[in-house]
Structure 1
Amino acid sequence: MKAVLFDLDGTLIDTAADFIRIIQQMCRDKGVDVVAAETIRTQVSEGARAMVKLVYPELAVDDSLFLQHRQNFLDCYGADIAVDTDLFQGMNDLLVDLETQQIPWGIVTNKPRWLSETLLQALNLTDRCAVLVCPEDVKQTKPDPEPMFLAASKLSIAPEQIVYIGDHPRDIDAGKNANMPTILAAYGYLPPNASDDLTAWQADYIAQDVQSLHKIIQSLM
């Protein structure tokens, strides 16, 4: 292993609390029952559209009013992107270990670039992250391997020598489609329709927490 790539939300960074805060406030503003925090958490990896749909289930996702609410959600999030957000507990120790071993780490995410860059800057991770690939950088996003190949190219490292870690089936599929060893972050924002048998995702490894993730990566270094 010569490099490590992470999905962003739910894998590298625990962003759910800020999404929960904003979505629940949107519920209060609309005057409807507040969506449970755990329900919101399971939708984080599905993106802004899925989270806003929890508040406005009656609107089609291409409805102009829905798009306005989605943009409002993104604006609110961008303005206060790291109020309750931080690296998962123990993740900084893992990153320091990689950096000490001079193994570059980066991010391949479906999160828009402006939000990804703002988040990394807020957490002082910009200069530590060796590569950041976002949807705007490719024609096909995960689970297509295109963003994985782009990250590998930017690192000048063969894909099969890069480990990819994610908390969604599309992350594991993207890694496998690029011939990268994959690790399922079972501590992350697993979708509600995720199989109870996580081995069905066919990841090479399953990490139940960041500490076990660290041990898996150490075994591959």
Structure 2
Amino acid sequence: MLRGVLFDLDGTLLDTVDDFMAVIDSMLEEHQRPRVAPELIRAQVSDGSVGMLSVAFATRPGEPGFDALREEFLSRYERALAVHTRPFPGILPLLDWLDSEGLPWGVVTNKLSRFSIPLMEQIGLAERCGSLVCPDQVSRGKPHPEPVLKACNEIGIAPEHCVFVGDHLRDIQAGHAAGMATIAALYGYLPPGEDHSLWQATHSVHSAVDLQPWLLSRRHLETPHV
């Protein structure tokens, strides 16, 4: 039976790509570089600043100037976390339903606390979120189950009664490793050509609006009598 839900952050709970694009566009302009297509950046969001900058500036970690670009990007983003960022359509009604049902929910992300905590505060979800686990709060991040298990402990729900929703293979791997059901959020930031069927998620959705019906069905599952 469903008793709690965990979400990835970028690409699952929140649509953050427009704020990333705004930072990258301004950097490209100042560095006198051509703009890149938004869909190319969108496909790299799950790989963080390294992935997005590698595509935008045709560079990679270890090359001259990359570290300075990354620091510039992170500094700019920290000052404008939630200008365009919004919950995906369907997320707020889902969170309202979870709250009304007394089902705690949390977030397990690979986004550092430096950004995740103020972002959740500015979006207005911090006080409602039962747990926010970031990679700098654990010794091993996703796909290791440690952050997922930490979140389960903080919301007080056993993993087998929890569902983890994420838009990346590592989210599904972390959920499975923790012993919980998983949902692949196919509306998120999937790279082109990604075969999500290989993730072997328990369920998948193409819109956040489709999350609640499936979670509702899990809510009413009865534990079989032995």
Q: Give the TM-score of the pair, scaled to structure 1.
A: 0.95
Q: Deviations over 1:109-160 (max 9, x none)?
A: 0000010011001111110000010001111110011111111122222111
Cα deviation for residue 186 of structure 1 reads 0.5
Tell whether the 8 Å contact from 1:26 to 1:55 is kept in structure 2 after alignment.
no
- C-alpha contact (below 8 Å) 2:113/2:136 kept by paired residues: yes
* Number of aligned positions between the proteins: 218
Deviation at 1:68, TM superposition (A): 1.6
Alpha-carbon distance in 2 for matches of 1:64, 1:126: 38
**Are 2:208 and 1:210 aligned?**
yes
Distance (whole Å) between structure 2 residues aligned to residue 101 and residue 62 of structure 1:
49
Q: C-alpha distance in 2, partners of 1:172/1:219?
A: 20
- Whichever residue aligns with residue 39 of structure 2, its letter is E
Q: Distance in 2 between matches of 1:109 and 1:95?
A: 18
Give how far 1:191 is off.
Answer: 2.1
SS at match of 1:107: strand
1:6 partnered with 2:7: yes
**Corresponding position of 2:119:** 119
SS in 2 for 1:165: strand
Contact 1:168 1:191 in 2 (8 A): no
Query: Which residue number in structure 1 is paired with residue 175 of structure 2?
Result: 175
Aligned twin of 2:165:
165
- CA distance in 2 between counterparts of 1:102 and 1:87 reads 21
TM-superposed deviation, 1:56? 2.9
**Aligned residue for 2:46?**
45
| Larger displacement relative to structure 2 (184-193 or 101-110) | 184-193
Report the secondary structure of 1:94's partner residue: helix
TM-score (norm 2): 0.93
Correspondences of 1:42-191 after superposition (within 5 Å): 42-58=43-59, 60-63=60-63, 65-191=65-191
Match of 1:18 in 2: 19
How much has 1:65 moved relative to structure 2?
Answer: 2.5
Report percent identity of matched pairs. Answer: 41
**What is the CA-CA distance between 1:181 and the residue it aligns to?**
0.2
Q: Measure the CA separation in 1 of the matches of 2:151 and 2:216.
A: 21
Segment drifting more, 81-90 vs 21-30: 21-30
CA contact 1:56–1:66 (8 Å) conserved in 2: no
Superposition map of 1:24-39 within 5 A: 24-39=25-40
| Structure 2 Cα separation of the partners of residues 212 and 119 of structure 1 | 25
Pair 1:110–1:84, CA change in 2 (3 A): same
Q: Which moved more, 1:146-155 or 1:60-69?
A: 60-69
2: distance between equivalents of 1:216 and 1:26? Answer: 42
RMSD of the alignment, in Å? 1.2
Q: Deviation per CA, 1:38-57: give whole Å up to 9, x if none.
A: 00001011111111112332
Partner of 2:223: none
The 1-side partners of 2:55 and 2:197 are apart by 29
List structure 1 segments (4+ residues) > 4 angstroms apart after TM superposition: none
The 8 Å contact of residues 82 and 119 in structure 2, kept in 1 or not, is answered as: yes
- Aligned partner letter, 2:128: R
- Report the equivalent of 1:201: 199
Distance 1:188 1:103, change over 3 A: same
> For the residues of structure 2 that align with 1:65 and 1:26, how far apart are their CA atoms?
13
Structure 2 gap segments, 5+ residues each: 220-226
| Structure-2 separation of matches of 1:163 and 1:90 | 17
Once structures 1 and 2 are overlaid, which stretch shifts more, 107-116 or 186-195?
A: 186-195
Instruction: Give the distance between the partners of 2:79 and 2:13, measured in 1 at CA.
Output: 21
2: distance between equivalents of 1:69 and 1:37?
Answer: 19
